[in-house]
Chain A
């Protein structure tokens, strides 16, 4: 009995499963509400969960090194209000402000990454502290703004919002294109560069990575920086799409993001996973939420199916290494002698 199937085989199988799940969702929701299948509506749905998609892509890197990142949501809000205040109250060019916002996201991520990598504190605690710190900073920044914080900063120039809201051929939204480009970039970084191999090795065995001359601390720190960068990019896109800069954007994305990454086949213990799986899982979750809301399920209830999906998917994935289940499967195997004959 080979207990550990080859990595490539597992990943392949899991991603196929996600695609089947995605198709299943499309068929079911299309059956419930035929409007769901109108291309404009179907492709447009990505606008609703773009933030989750982008953030989860880069949080994958962190989970592969064996860490966890629960601060991304607050970086989304921080970037949003930061560019809003820079543009409206400090009078800086909007695109320069966006660039500064990206830099801020990267710095925030790098700060948490520094503490995780160089002091050996559990990533959970550091990013928990980070989520307090960055959401608090976002609130502090609103003190510099003339606008009341609950209203949000409005009135962004049209070309800024139009780029994100626009659609190619009036059907495929630009956000989908941006997402695909980001998937390709993330895939290239993680799976096709030496940096990506180092990220994996840090997750598989950090000591071995250190002894083979990899600067593990820098690599781990850089993954948090990438996650921060991704979160701030998502924050900018969300600001542009909604046309308002607010502090509480992205406040509720921690559950969906971690769900997407884990459902995508990345282990939270590090070492395995991939960008394609995350991207597919993010789409599965997004379309699940969108389809349910089109099937007249209230938006407040949408956390229930996402939570159930997360628990079941992970239970299913861990079933192979579960001694309880393995005991039964071995019993079953003993009870079925013809299977032995087949394998011989």
Chain B
């Protein structure tokens, strides 16, 4: 039983992703080529980066719906500077902006005690407005070809540099989160903030750190957006927050906090990005995209919740049975005497 429960949650999502690929491949065999699978994974790169960032926040039991706007603003900042020839400055400024938005969220949630959904919803509005202030409502265009080409370059014909970086980040942060002391704080805080506090874990500091990471990763996503998409509208990145949260949930991260891993977030992002391509290969119009995503999200989550409730109930019964057995075997005389 314990063995059964200890199967990592992201395994289910990996199995689901493989099943999705295989089943679509059995209908349309051109889907299952190496090239196409790599295309699918590479196209999920922005979702994956932002999902890894937001996963830190969700694992600590909070939520961040400002990542879409953060991505848009940092993309606009980076894009306009790259256009003027300042690649390094563009990247540095984007990261500084992303980090400071994340810290702003974190301070609001930890110091001012504003519920995270409200705080980040407010930040979302403010940052989205700042994009209009920064760009005057104009598109940022004419990104140098060299910068754009970087996102298309593939190593050994497989992953792009970006996706390789995502995999590296994923592996490093996976080990940090499972093996290092500070990394385990995230799950502890998400699982039981009061308990974590009693153990001497800096709950507020961890949450602040998580929000800063979320902003940082959103800004990296923004830089990738500039390179991949090549033009930035004022509405760039809107709706990303929802897709990314959905990706985390599909990857087995619980919004209650304390459960999930960054691998799950990456796999969830791959699932999210694959859905629209899958529809094309199955011959559906691509505007079924949202419907399928919605149904999938609800089904996955409901299925998971029902399973969890079932196993929790089973565990409770087993504990109760064990307790009764214990009483029967250890203190029968007392019961008989009374």
Task: Please report A residues at the B interface, Cβ cutoff 8 Å.
Answer: 68, 115, 119-122, 124-126, 128-137, 139-140, 142-143, 254-255, 258-259, 262, 268-269, 298, 300-304, 306-308, 310-311, 314-315, 318-319, 321-322, 324
Contacts and interface: CB of A to CB of B under 8 A. Distances in A.
10 contacts: A128-B249, A129-B297, A136-B293, A140-B288, A140-B291, A258-B117, A303-B124, A304-B126, A307-B126, A308-B122
B123 A311 contact: yes
Contacts, number: 151
B114 A298 contact: no
B124 to A, nearest CB: 6
The 7 closest A-B pairs by CB, nearest first: A133-B294, A136-B290, A136-B291, A307-B125, A132-B294, A304-B129, A303-B125
B112 A318 contact: yes
**Chain B interface helix/strand/loop/mixed:** helix
A256 B130 CA distance: 17
Contacts of A131: 242, 294
Contact of A122 (B128, B242, B255, B293): B255
A150 to B, nearest CB: 11
B117 A68 contact: yes
A248 to B, nearest CB: 12
Contact of A269 (B115, B298, B301): B115
B302 A315 contact: no
Contacts of B293: 129, 132-133, 136
B76 to A, nearest CB: 13
A324 B109 CA distance: 13
Interface in B318-335: none
Nearest to A149: B287
Given A126-B301, A269-B115, A324-B111, A300 B294 contact: no
**Is the contact region of chain A dominated by helix, strand, or loop, or is it mixed?**
helix
A129 B114 contact: no
Given A130-B298, A134-B294, A322 B113 contact: yes
A233 B294 CA distance: 23
Contacts of A308: 122, 126
A122 B256 contact: yes
Interface string B90-130: 00000000000000000010011111011101111111111
A136 B302 contact: no
B137 interface: yes
Interface in B109-159: 111-115, 117-119, 121-130, 132-133, 137
B129 A302 contact: yes
